[in-house]
A and B are shown apart, each in its own frame.
Chain A
Amino acid sequence: MDFLTIIQVLDSTVRLATPLLLACLAGLYSERAGIFDIGLEGKMLMAAFFSAAVAAVSGSVWLGLLAGIASSLVLSGLHGLASITFRGNQLISGVAINFLAAGMTVLIAQDWFKQGGRTPSLFAGGRFEPINFPFAEALSGVPILGPIYSELLSGHSILVYLAFLAVPGTWWVLYRTRFGLRLRAVGENPAAVDTAGVSVVGLRYAAVAICGVLCGIAGAYLATALQAGFVKDMTAGRGFIALAALIFAKWRPWQAMWACLLFGLLQAIALRFQNIDLGGVVIPVQVMDALPYILTVVILAGFVGKAIPPRAGGEPYVKER
């Protein structure tokens, strides 16, 4: 494997890690506030469809992004209604949202575009174009650093940079602002937050809304940057890999980035090489597919450092108690 191949694999790692990272941070806000969210997949899928559909019709990718975020927010609102207002089971609500998105996207796509549950392919203007850093072309000849700069760092769409900037952003919000402190507190001990006179319901809705916005961006990235248009079930389990990454990272932002990069790398390797030959031992491609999930189970089992979720996670808050 030569240097350029490594750079290319890492480059596609960044591309593939981006939707995972956005969804993972989305889940982080929600779960840190005590609302389990296994509906990340559904929200991404819904956003992927609406962003592609609106971008295809209007020709503007930015309108597409807004539509994607809005549709994801609607599902977030539903999740909030079920799990915060009506104190329902958050896991069941997540399952329902995943199915709702899987069904509605194809239903609407078929009704609007009649192309077998997909949107028309997006052309220039309907997609997020790569941003080339200054002098990327000129510096590509420089050994080692040149390809790293021009191939790996430069030439991604704006959403990629946004996703990676969201990591320090999330860290700052979570650990350096009053809102973040309250958010974490409401996931650990909502009664204490309530006693302090802060609205548990308000905070949790805010967290679920942030989750919706980030999932919306993740879905829009899938349909309008990574690919050119929506196809049925295009999230392909990414929402669950993001959930796995979140547990892998033990609900912390920087670690979430590394976990998503790791899982993105696994996907990139599986895409580029089918079966990997390691000195006579062939690793089948299916192992790469399953590895994120296996690693997550190992982490969950607590054999390699214990993953302890926010204490009030999954529990509806009842004020009268």
Chain B
Amino acid sequence: MERPLKMDKMPKWADVVLIPVISLILAAILSALVIVAIGEDPVEAVNLMVTGALGSTYGWGYTLYYATNFMFTGLAVAVAFHARMFNIGGEGQAMLGGLGVAMVCLYVPWPHWSLALLAACAGAMIFGAAWAAVPAYLQAKRGSHIVITTIMFNFIAAAVLNYMLVNVMRPQGSMDPASARFPEAVHLPTLHELLAPIGISFSKAAPANVTLLVAILACFVVWALIWRTRLGYEIRAYGHSETGALYAGISPVKITMIAMLISGALAGLMATNNVMGEAERLVLNSTEGAGFIGIAVALMGRSHPFGVFLAAILFGFLYQGGAELALWTSIPRELIVVIQALVILFTGALDNMVRMPLEKMFLAMRKGKA
């Protein structure tokens, strides 16, 4: 987020690859120590996680399902980062996206899933963007801190969703605060159904579905937007220097609004995966914290769509592996929350702790050569 200016102290590859990798190693070492402290074997734990998450198509199916969620939320945080904004509201925006998806799926009779998916994407993006619009407007026009307003909007979103599910969308006679099940016609094909015709057998039970392709497409679109369009250039320019952007005739209000709307739309899109692709109905707390994991994913991926893609798969692996660990050992699932915290800490907050010694090292090497 706050990187530029000192770029030339280090070669670019060190900034893009070395620092995230060192941060990840530090997080891994600390996590291993935590596992040792609980009295379990970290090597055994890693083995379990790898076989559980990557050892079968069932494991891969879950890993990719989680990764799809994290790609959307990671991209959402990354786009806001480029405009030097911290959108902590991905969770709320994804919740509202779920509401949009549920309305599209429940109240319109769709003839085919592909049309339904297109409409659901639109619904999710509109609802997610709308939920980001108010904080964005307040930041742009009234200078209210976007971090605080988006946090507040997460809680308001939870209340809105709670109200909608309990009082409006709950079917008659049901006690469960959840919407009705979506009709069969909007069922999205899973990876099993997609891969079977071309002769690849993939686990039937795993929830990974066609929205994985939507997420990958989103990565490409965001890359093209940020690095290949005028708007993307303006967003990055604004992120580097607000005054500089102002002198270049870039409107801060416009960029703040657009960047946050894109960010909210991306977070909302996550609902096509978890609500439409997996649960096939809207439930309370359907996002399960994926909006926050987007922060770790964007930091780890250095706000680059390809980095986000890799980091999302890494976190998908951690999530599925963590679930397997909780199943077979006494290590609870919350270990993943700790790992997530450590990744955010090292790649985000303690970035300078890793960076400063490395910069010194590279400077010394350069001097040695000269």
Interface positions of A (Cβ within 8 A of B): 38, 78, 81-83, 86-93, 95-100, 102-104, 106-107, 110-111, 117, 237, 240, 243-244, 247, 284, 286-287, 289-290, 293-294, 296-297, 300-302, 309
Chain A residues in 8 Å Cβ range of B336: 103
A300 close to B145 (CB less than 8 A)? yes
Which of A88, A92, A93 has most chain B Cβ within 10 Å? A92
A99, A240, A296: which contacts B337 (Cβ < 8 A)? A99
B142 close to A103 (CB less than 8 A)? no
Chain A residues in 8 Å Cβ range of B331: 107
Mostly helix, strand, loop or mixed at chain A's interface?
helix
Chain B residues in 8 Å Cβ range of A302: 142-144
26 A-B residue pairs with CB within 8 Å:
A38-B151, A78-B345, A82-B349, A88-B353, A89-B2, A89-B348, A92-B349, A95-B348, A96-B341, A98-B341, A99-B292, A99-B341, A100-B338, A103-B339, A106-B334, A107-B334, A107-B338, A111-B330, A240-B151, A287-B159, A297-B138, A297-B144, A297-B149, A300-B142, A301-B138, A302-B144
Chain A residues in 8 Å Cβ range of B353: 82, 86, 88
**Min C-beta distance of B337 to chain A, whole Å:** 3
Q: Mark B245-266, 1 if CB is under 8 A from A, else 0.
A: 0000000000000000000000
B338 close to A88 (CB less than 8 A)? no
Q: Which of B8-16, B65-73, B160-168, B267-275 contacts A (4 or more CB under 8 A)?
A: B160-168
**Min C-beta distance of B22 to chain A, whole Å:** 14
**Min C-beta distance of A111 to chain B, whole Å:** 5
B24 near A: Cβ within 8 Å?
A: no
Chain B residues in 8 Å Cβ range of A83: 349
Beyond A91-B86, A111-B38, A300-B144, whether A96 also contacts B348 by CB under 8 A is yes
Closest to B161 in A: A286
B342 close to A107 (CB less than 8 A)? no
Give Cα A287 to B167, complex, Å.
13
Interface positions of B (Cβ within 8 A of A): 1-2, 34, 37-39, 86, 88, 134, 138, 142-145, 147-149, 151-153, 155-156, 158-160, 162-163, 166-167, 292, 295, 299, 330-332, 334-342, 344-345, 348-353, 356
Beyond A92-B295, A110-B332, A287-B159, whether A300 also contacts B149 by CB under 8 A is yes
B162 close to A296 (CB less than 8 A)? no
A102 close to B334 (CB less than 8 A)? yes
B152 close to A296 (CB less than 8 A)? yes
Beyond A92-B86, A110-B330, A294-B156, whether A82 also contacts B337 by CB under 8 A is no
Closest to A289 in B: B159
Closest to A98 in B: B341
A284 close to B163 (CB less than 8 A)? yes
Give Cα A203 to B352, complex, Å.
21
**Min C-beta distance of B156 to chain A, whole Å:** 5
A103 close to B335 (CB less than 8 A)? yes
Instruction: Sort A-B residue pairs by CB-CB distance and give the 10 closest, nearest first.
Output: A103-B337, A93-B349, A99-B341, A103-B338, A290-B159, A92-B348, A100-B341, A82-B349, A300-B144, A96-B345
**Min C-beta distance of B315 to chain A, whole Å:** 13
**Min C-beta distance of B167 to chain A, whole Å:** 6
Chain A residues in 8 Å Cβ range of B351: 86, 88-89
Give Cα A240 to B89, complex, Å.
13
Chain B residues in 8 Å Cβ range of A290: 155-156, 159-160
**Min C-beta distance of B260 to chain A, whole Å:** 15
**Min C-beta distance of A241 to chain B, whole Å:** 8
Chain A residues in 8 Å Cβ range of B349: 82-83, 86, 88-90, 92-93, 96
Give Cα A117 to B167, complex, Å.
32
Known: A96-B344, A103-B341. 4 other contacts (CB 8 A): A92-B349, A107-B34, A293-B156, A302-B143
Chain B residues in 8 Å Cβ range of A111: 37-39, 330
B144 close to A301 (CB less than 8 A)? yes
Closest to B38 in A: A111
A240 close to B155 (CB less than 8 A)? yes
**Min C-beta distance of B229 to chain A, whole Å:** 27
Chain B residues in 8 Å Cβ range of A243: 148, 151
Closest to B157 in A: A290
B352 close to A87 (CB less than 8 A)? yes
Closest to B299 in A: A92
Chain A residues in 8 Å Cβ range of B2: 89
Give Cα A247 to B152, complex, Å.
12
**Min C-beta distance of A317 to chain B, whole Å:** 14
B159 close to A86 (CB less than 8 A)? no
**Min C-beta distance of A296 to chain B, whole Å:** 5
Give Cα A234 to B76, complex, Å.
29
